Structure formats: C-alpha cells, structure tokens
Amino acid sequence: MSDIYNNDTYLKNNPEWHQEDAPFKAGKILKLLLRNNIPLKTICEIGCGSGAILIQLSTKLDKNIHFKGVDISAAAITIAKQKEMENVTFELTDITKTTINNPYDLLLVIDVIEHIENYFEFLENIADKGKYTLFHIPLDMSIWSLFREKMLIESKERVGHIHNFTEEFIISILEDKGFRLIDKIYTEPLLKNENFKRKFIHQISNMLYRINKRFCTKTIGGYSIMLLTENVGKR
C-alpha cells in the first residue's frame, strides 16, 4: 500500500492532496491547542501532504514558532515546497527512521495512521520525537459501515484507508503506546459532490449528532476524532 503515495496512484485519485480541507482541520487543531494552553516553539507534522495545514496554522499561531512538515511522498513534498516560508519548511523523509535529539513540542499526525500497514510500529517510533501529539483519525467502523462494507473497500481504494477504528479502540492503542489522552473533539464530515441519497443520510446524521455525538459516531458514522495527547512512554 505504501507505493500508492509514490507511484502517482494517490495523486491521481486526490490531485489536490486534500489541501481544500486544511482550513477546517487547522481550525479544529487550534481549538484543542488553545483550550489546553500547550506551550509551543516547534511543531512537526508527520505525513504533511500538501503542507496546507501548517501554512494555515502559521498564520494563526505565534510567528516565532517553527513549523516543519515531513512526508514519505515525493509528490506531496513537491506540492508543499511551493508553500515554504521563513518559519515553515518541508522535507522528504521518513521520520520514524530519523534520530531527533530535541523532541518537538508538538507532533501533528493528521489522517495518517489509517494508511500505515504497521501502525503499532509507527506509533512506537514517533513517541519519543515529540512532547505532545495531536492525532486526527477517521472513525470508519460503525454499525452503518458493517452493513455497507463496500464503503470501507471504496475508502481503501480511493484514499488508502487500510485500517478502520472506533473511538475506544484507538484511544486504548494510543495509551498502550505511550500517548496519554488530554482532550478530544469530534469532527464532522465535509460534503463533496454528494448525491441526493448521501445528502439525505448526512442530514439525518447531523440531527442525530446534535442529540448525541458519541451515539451518532457509533451508529451512522462518517465522523472523525481529534485527540490531543501527551507523550509519556509505554505503559
């Protein structure tokens, strides 16, 4: 699966590399950071893609913060490099194989682990590279998706989601690997070129979400979760 990020398969399916979603995701990241008063001087986004999220954050956070984006995809870094600024840089590298002498204040892992074959090893290898980590993870496993498994297969083929999570399961895994949960928020799906049927389902989902967020994510699904964690080491 890792080859799809370097053989143009992913780029062909996602020519903008999801940079159109960056303002929405950056807004949610800011919400979690600001309400928890996390001290920041250095931020590293692992799997930065187009780099658009870091650019968005750089316009909202302290100008003295240094932002670095890393990715294993040459295509993604080519897109990101065009956006570099004085305090925002991008690098083609596998950070899991890199020694970091001074851990970053914050790691961003935004829509990444669902793409990685051995995400257990990935988590172990990044735990010592930051003081805090903020994850964004789709909650693809729901009652609805179990009855519509083609949705999971389509997600695998189009955007490379090879793992499907529930909230409790992924939080348990993160805690096992040394990431202590501090705070969390759900993020709603962004509608893109949806047909009438899907729009109708989303309307029902939105109504249920307003009543009970947790129940909605488990039944109809389509939502993601953003988790702010402190890197404390394996338990």
Q: Tens digit of pLDDT for each residue in 195-234?
A: 655 665 666 667 777 777 777 777 776 788 999 999 997 6
Output the pLDDT for position 119. 94
Number of Cβ atoms within 10 Å of the Cβ of 25: 22
CATH of the domain at 172: 3.40.50.150
Cβ 127 vs Cβ 231: under 8 Å: yes
> In degrees to the nearest 10, what's the CA dihedral of 116, 118, 124, 128?
-30
- Give yes or no for residue 146 having a pLDDT over 90: no
Average pLDDT over residues 61-84: 93
Average pLDDT over residues 161-185: 92
What's the gap between Cα 169 and its chain centre? 16
What percent of the chain has a predicted confidence (pLDDT) above 70? 75
pTM: 0.83
Return d(Cα 48, Cα 27) in angstroms, integer.
16
- Which of the four pLDDT bands, split at 50, 70 and 90, describes residue 1? very low
- Give yes or no for residue 188 having a pLDDT over 50: yes
Name the strands in the sheet holding 42-46, side by side, starting at the edge strand that comes first in the sequence. 88-92, 66-71, 42-46, 104-110, 130-138, 224-231, 179-187
The whole-chain average pLDDT of the chain stands at: 84
Number of Cβ atoms within 10 Å of the Cβ of 90: 25
Per-residue tokens: 212: 């009970």
- Please tell me whether residue 33 adopts helix, strand or coil conformation: helix
| Cα angle: 114, vertex 98, 164; to 5 degrees | 5
179, β-bridge pairs: 231
Q: Considering its fold, how many domains does the chain have in total?
A: 1
Return the beta strands (E) in 101-193 as ranges: 104-110, 130-138, 179-187
In degrees rounded to 5, what are phi and psi of residue 88?
-130, 115
Per residue in 14-33, pLDDT (tens digit) is 555 556 788 999 999 999 99
The DSSP H or E segment spanning 32 is helix 22-36
Average pLDDT over residues 119-130: 95
Give the structural domain span for 27: 2-231
Output the pLDDT for position 189. 76
Output the pLDDT for position 6. 58
Return d(Cα 81, Cα 79) in angstroms, integer.
6
